[in-house]
Amino acid sequence: MKPRILVTREVFQVTLDYLGQHFEVDSNQSDTPLTSAQLSGRLADKDGAMTVLTDRIDEVLLAHCPKLKAVCNIAVGYNNFDLKACTARGVLATNTPGVLDAATADFTWTLILATARRLTEAEAWLRAGEWKGWKLKQFLGTDVQGATLGVIGMGRIGQAVARRAQGFDMTVLYYNRKRLTPELERACHAQYASLDELLARADIVTLHTPYSPETHHLIGAAQLAKMKPSAILIHAARGGVVDDMALIEALETGKIAAAGLDVYENEPKFNPAFLKFKNVVLAPHIASATTNTRRNMAMLAAKNLVAALTTGNPPNLLNPKT
Ligand code: DGY
């Protein structure tokens, strides 16, 4: 008998075909998120699951799923997993690093340019029929060329964002838990800075850390107060890295000039106060959303699941070694 698995949300047909060669597949192709009760009901008799960032895999759920041996996230972030609980119950957990770096870095630049040049504000105005003619001072933006970029979190995605800054002749500062090797710093044309120095000097601050108890509200009122009043904050990392209430307050009081956001606390019910700002570009968590990238993410998660349930050694294992 083939192992039984659950695919919790809609994926590509090619992914389902691949999974079908190895498993008996139950899948939620209606694409409505499963409630925790539905999730634990559908997983109770399964050997594995392909999950997304909205599926909470914790001790309560695992206690109802005694057969479960692997949970494979279609995401590089895995803060929806209680990794300790998975490890304690012998459940292998995996993510999808690498395949989304370029798409996420490209989208970070989409946010940087759209925010600095006020694209969404200008487009909304044009669509509303407000454009009566060209003016010298119409929708004046901020130069990106030659500005100082501050990258917080210099993993693969942060590095890809920094490398792209060379096309704009930017000075790149970065802050990371661990300093990069001199070779990597040279490849990224980036100089290490303390968090405070980066916040004080950068014209554009962009966030690329994972979300964890250590990075919860890494950017809050105190950090926003250290930024230049002319600075822009870009956030395509994970909701919770920024204290959204503090950001709203900083935008209201002009502590910073603008923001470009792809992620929020309490997605998808983000704070509606963001909607009132013309100087904030808002996206619905789509930084990795290109057809190729999302296909590659789903396929990598599927390969992790096949390896986890056949060899017990998936390529992107997250559980700490014992
Ligand atoms: C990730 O991979 O963590 C992304 O946020 C999902 O789009």
In this structure, the residue with its CA closest to atom 3 of ligand 1 is 77
Backbone angles phi, psi at 27, to 5 degrees: -140, 145
Please give the chain's pLDDT, 322 residues, in tens: 999 999 999 999 999 999 999 999 999 999 899 999 999 999 999 999 999 999 999 999 999 999 999 999 999 999 999 999 999 999 999 999 999 999 999 999 999 999 999 999 999 999 999 999 999 999 999 999 999 999 999 999 999 999 999 999 999 999 999 999 999 999 999 999 999 999 999 999 999 999 999 999 999 999 999 999 999 999 999 999 999 999 999 999 999 999 999 999 999 999 999 999 999 999 999 999 999 999 999 999 999 999 999 999 999 999 998 6
Active site residue 267: yes
In this structure, the residue with its CA closest to atom 6 of ligand 1 is 75
Whether residue 54 contacts residue 13, with contact meaning beta carbons closer than 8 Å, is answered with: no
Active site residue 197: no
Ligand 1 centroid, distance to 265 Cα (angstroms): 14
- Indicate if ligand 1 lies below 6 Å from the C-beta of 76: yes
pTM of the predicted model as reported, rounded to 2 decimal places: 0.97
Ligand 1 centroid, distance to 76 Cα (angstroms): 5
Ligand 1 centroid, distance to 137 Cα (angstroms): 38
Transcribe 71-112 into DSSP letters: EEESSS--TTB-HHHHHHTT-EEE---STTHHHHHHHHHHHH
Encoding tokens for residue 258? 């603008």
In this structure, the residue with its CA closest to atom 4 of ligand 1 is 75
